[in-house]
Amino acid sequence: MKMSGAQMIIEAIIAEGVTKVFGYPGGAIMNVYDEIYKQNDFEHILTRHEQAAVHAADGYARASGDVGVAMVTSGPGFTNAVTGLATAYTDSVPLVVISGQVPLSLIGTDGFQEVDAVGISRACTKHNYLVHDIAELPRILKEAFYIARSGRPGPVLVDVPKDITGEIAEFVYPSDVHLPTYKPNYKGNDRQIKKAAEAILKAKKPLLYLGGGVVLSNATDVVRRLAEISQMPAVETLMARGVMGADNPLLMGMLGMHGNYASNMAMSETDLVISLGARFDDRVTGKLSEFAKYADVIHVDIDPANIAKLVDVDYPIVGDINIVVEKLIGHLEERIKPERYQVWRDILKRYDELHPLTYHDSDEVIKPQWVIERIGEKVGADAVITSDVGQHQMWAAQFYPFDRPRQWINSGGLGTMGYGFPAAIGAQVACPDKHVINITGDGSILMNVQELVTASENKLPVINVILNNHFLGMVRQWQTFFYDKRYAETDLSYQPNWKLLAEACGGAGYDVTTKAEFDAALDAALEGGKVTFINVAVDRLENVLPMVPAGGALYNMLLEHKES
């Protein structure tokens, strides 16, 4: 069948089973949007900024487990999308982003709205393409979806010149992909897996170190089974919240810069780290020379480039967590004695009792941690929680009772302010029957506030809970601790009227200064069916604790802040 390049893009999207696309049109991609207008197989959701389009596709992908798709035009349309690509790349989110480009004859001439999309995105995509010939387009589109979802997932850019989208050629969509230089290893090395099992059997203080790869590989069930049969304690990274379940007695909590005391001490004293889908990020490890310094390391990861990148690894295993852990259980199930680790579990339980994750509640001013806990009490596992970046993100990770994977959606690696609201829109599209709540700050929410219109137009009842301390909170905290309270450009006292802003865009707004008002506002938002801003006046100077100072060892935590 002969068709235009624009039609090929539409047919490929349909063939890949995509039902939702996020985007923003423009001149170079106009032919594709003309074909979108003519079809009824997928829904296109018009965001109000290209960055938001990619973040929404990202949130959709994280919530659903499917590949997210976004479309943008050339030039500033593409450069606006770069932050979204980088956000997805650092957190290994499967996306296909299709960008328009100036015609082939204008490339390299500084034509109107021309930028080198492939060059710019090379560092923040898993792979990228510039289509030079319409005959290549079907193959490239097939490869793009395959690369995005296979191995370690990630965003793939397909940059399509406008003349290619208008040309006519034969369309045969490939049934499979042939990439000789790209062959992800899923099975894991059997000999290494057996050695890892022997190490676990010999260890006295083993620790499961769970990263976002467990979520990405849908390996929660098998990882929980490993923990159950072995009774090994576990810690989660920021990206793995929900893997073990909030009430699991084997879960010590989150570790790292703002991890709880028991988790950080567990990593500091363990004699064997079993790392599953974690990349030893600096916010987790702290001072590398002191990180798990008494431990051997088993590192399971689908991406060989991640293994031993930052820490020495004794048992490297490249493979899919589902397959590797299933084999590991086979070696352990009849031999492991869970009581072997009872003393170790008792030590960690004592650490948790000594310094539990807590805060000083107040009836005079709303504490942000109380807000998080209250949301958890009201909606719990029924909600999908997104966040922006800052103090509110850490409080949400610490205090929300995450019970399942894909319940917690945030920008972990890049730390993108403005991510939470459009990601929540994508998550709401993916999960129309669940409450989606974006926990945000008064700094972050303004960075993509225009998406109020997107949510309102599409009747997406995303609830934005603004923990409003009139500060750029996390930077203010560092200025308090390490810069003698020189609050350089972090005071955000000048703000819009959040209630009126939400209402002006067709949503609902609430200003909250008491706990009773918050309960009433949240109840109304949950029942209201509209995009909502709940502006909560919280303690301006509340800090996120515990905290490991940058470059410090995990065991040297600030557990409280004392005024000098």
Contact predicate 508/532, CB 8 Å: yes
Rounded to the nearest integer, the mean pLDDT of the chain is: 97
Q: Which CATH number fits domain 368-537: 3.40.50.700, 3.40.50.300, 3.40.50.970, 2.40.320.10?
A: 3.40.50.970
Counting Cβ atoms within 10 Å, is residue 42 exposed (0-12), middle (13-18) or buried (19+)? middle
- Catalytic residue, chosen from 11, 16, 35, 50, is 50
Q: Residue 260: its pLDDT value, please?
A: 97
In 3D space, the residue among 507, 509, 479, 483 whose CA is nearest the CA of residue 495 turns out to be 509
- Express each pLDDT in 100-142 by its tens digit: 999 999 999 999 999 999 999 999 999 999 999 999 999 999 9
**Mean pLDDT across 187-192:** 98
Specify the pLDDT at position 562: 72
**Which letter does DSSP use for residue 67 in this model?**
P
Flag whether pLDDT at 564 surpasses 70: no
- 508 pLDDT above the threshold of 90: yes
CATH topology of domain 2-170: Rossmann fold (3.40.50)
pLDDT-derived band at 338 (thresholds 50, 70, 90) equals: confident
Closest CA to 466 of 439, 491, 446, 448: 439
pLDDT at residue 563, as a whole number: 66
* 7 φ, ψ (degrees, to nearest 5): -65, -35
Q: Residue 272 phi/psi, 5° resolution?
A: -155, 115
Predicted local distance difference test score (pLDDT) of residue 520: 98
Per residue in 194-222, pLDDT tens?
999 999 999 999 999 999 999 999 999 99
Strand partners, 154: none
In the set 244, 257, 474, 547, the catalytic residue is: 474
Q: Give percent of the chain above pLDDT 90.
A: 98
Segments making up each domain of the chain, as ranges: 2-170, 190-354, 368-537
3 assigned to active site: no
Question: 496-499: which pairs have CB atoms within 8 A and are 24 or more residues apart?
Answer: 496/446, 498/466, 498/468, 498/533, 498/535, 499/533, 499/535
Q: Model's pTM, two decimal places?
A: 0.97
Mean pLDDT of 85-90: 98
Structural fold of domain 190-354:
Rossmann fold (3.40.50)
Do 190-354 and 368-537 agree at the fold level?
yes
265 belongs to the catalytic site? no
- How far, in Å, CA of 174 to CA of 143, rounded? 9
Catalytic residue at 394? no
Q: Tell me, what DSSP letter sits at residue 148?
A: H
Percent of the chain clearing pLDDT 70 (strictly above) = 100
Query: Where would I find the H helices in 177-254?
Result: 190-202, 212-216, 220-230
Catalytic residue among 3, 30, 42, 113: 113
Q: What is the pLDDT of residues 408-466, one digit of tens each?
A: 999 999 999 999 999 999 999 999 999 999 999 999 999 999 999 999 999 999 999 99
The β-bridge partners of 467 are 441, 536
Q: Does residue 110 contact residue 73 with C-beta atoms inside 8 Å?
A: no
For residue range 153-167, what is the model confidence (pLDDT) as tens digits? 999 999 999 999 999
- Catalytic site includes residue 459: no
pLDDT of residue 57: 99
Find, among 522, 543, 498, the residue nearest to 374 by Cα. 522
Query: If you average pLDDT over residues 246-263, what whole number do you get?
Result: 98
* CB within 8 Å of 59: residues ≥ 6 apart: 68, 386, 409, 422, 423, 424, 425, 426, 427, 430
Cβ proximity of 184 and 321 under 8 Å:
no
Question: Which residues neighbour 283 within 8 Å (Cβ) at sequence distance 6 or greater?
Answer: 238, 256, 257
Query: Among the options 162, 327, 367, 530, which is catalytic?
Result: 162
Cα 5 to Cα 553: distance, rounded to the nearest angstrom: 55
Please check the confidence at residue 402 and state whether its pLDDT lies above 60: yes
Average confidence (pLDDT) over 73-83: 98
Which amino acid is it at 400?
A: Y
423 vs 410: CA distance, rounded Å: 8
Q: Which of 112, 198, 337, 377 is catalytic?
A: 112
Reply yes or no on whether 434 is catalytic.
no
Q: How confident is the model at residue 560 (pLDDT cuts 50, 70, 90)?
A: confident
